[in-house]
Amino acid sequence: MASSWAAALGWRLRRHHLIADPAGSVEDVVGRLVAVPAWLGDASTAIRLRLGDSEKGDVDAAIAAGRVVCVYAFRGATHLMTPDNAAAHMSVRGAGRQWELASWRTFYGLEPGDWPRLRAAVREALSDGPLTQHELAQAVAKRPAHRHLLQAFEDRSHTFLKPFCWQGDLCFAPSRDGAATFRSFDSIPTWRGLEDVDDAGPSAIRAYLAAYGPATRDHIDHWLAQGLSAGRRRLAHWIEDMADELTELVIDGDAALCLTEHAADIVSATPTRDVVLLPGYDQWVMGAGTSDTHVVPPKHRVLATRGANTVLIGGRFSGTWERAGDTVRVRWLDGESAGATASLRKAAQSLSAVLGSRLRVQTL
């Protein structure tokens, strides 16, 4: 079966709730996107642009209620995920057992057999409610066996804290007075524990293809093998085991995988010229990767990598925008703006609703 990347991106835009069919809730958006960067960019704006109706505090409310969790995920950075997606992706990330490497054992003075007791201490410390990073460090390090780990728990890089997230012991809670704050996964109402890794891998692939398909094997490798250190051999094994769920399409000469249930819709999809305004580091770009030339023209990759606010036409990085007071200044790239005026005004209206200010458009 054949298609075109322009048509495939049109299908993907709809899957991302960026044109037609807005999502019904914050968790619907986060679940579809799999992960939304929390450490940079503007997660709230990115999510609310995909909702039919929203208020300024909706994303924070979803996090506070546990409908969305903040975890250390791709490349060890913080991301918003649904509890179900976190259960799969944390299992994949933890499968490499980084904390058992010789360098970790030497640096932190911990052997693999020491971790069960340490993890139990962390869970016990959080059993009565959220703690700031400092409070958690003090609670765990008061035990003689863990006293030498005080500095590791308090380290601003959070390096030592990440394995506790990957093993299902803690995630972020709403910050307290600006301080990083953690809670137990057990405090999340819908938390069912980590998935078994052999189930988690296919779950992660399904979730990725449902949002970012059709995808080449290089795209999947970028997302899971590089992003979560899943390991190429393990990833290839999962894909092989999923053969009856996947369909290979030939798109403008490229072999790309999609979920079989989506194949017919992708093949019958048509290109679009809809304009979409997105904040920098939006998952539309980050999920595919800034090296994906179908989404980001190579000569503009630096702009996308540095988090420029993005103007899409038909899903392709076609311009940048910035806000100056009540004006959105759009700078088109490569003369891509032909016939886009009406759609740009509509996109600016969507952005105005989210930012709470009526914005006019100025093109440069």
Sort residue 101 into left (φ over 0), alpha (ψ -120 to 50) or beta: beta
Burial of 159 (0-12, 13-18, 19+ CB in 10 A): middle
pLDDT of 309 = 98
Average pLDDT over residues 42-60: 95
Residue range 204-226, pLDDT digits in tens: 999 999 999 999 999 999 999 99
pLDDT of residue 293 exceeding 60:
yes
What span, in angstroms and rounded, lies between the C-alpha atoms of 288 and 8? Answer: 13
Residue range 85-128, pLDDT digits in tens: 999 999 999 999 999 999 999 999 999 999 999 999 999 999 99
- Asked whether 42 and 49 are in contact (CB, 8 A), the reply is no
Average pLDDT over residues 54-79: 96
**What is the chain's alpha carbon radius of gyration, rounded to the nearest angstrom?**
22
What span, in angstroms and rounded, lies between the C-alpha atoms of 228 and 22? Answer: 29
What letter represents residue 246's amino acid? L
pLDDT of residue 1 exceeding 60:
no
Q: Looking at the DSSP assignment, which residues form a beta bridge with residue 55?
A: none
Map residue 176 onto helix, strand or coil: strand
pLDDT of residue 338 exceeding 80:
no
pLDDT of 339 = 72
Residue range 347-364, pLDDT digits in tens: 999 999 999 999 999 998
Map residue 315 onto helix, strand or coil: coil
pLDDT of 340 = 84
Distance separating the N- and C-terminal Cα atoms of the chain: 41
pLDDT of 20 = 85
| C-alpha pair distances (Å), 102 with each of 98, 148, 326 | 9, 18, 55
Residue range 130-183, pLDDT digits in tens: 999 999 999 999 999 999 999 999 999 999 999 999 999 999 999 999 999 999
pTM for this prediction:
0.95
Average pLDDT over residues 68-85: 97
Contacts 24+ apart (CB under 8 A), 13-17: 13/272, 13/274, 13/276, 13/312, 13/314, 13/315, 15/210, 15/211, 16/50, 16/211, 16/283, 16/284, 17/50, 17/51
Residue range 276-290, pLDDT digits in tens: 999 999 999 999 999
Average pLDDT over residues 281-308: 96
pLDDT of 44 = 97
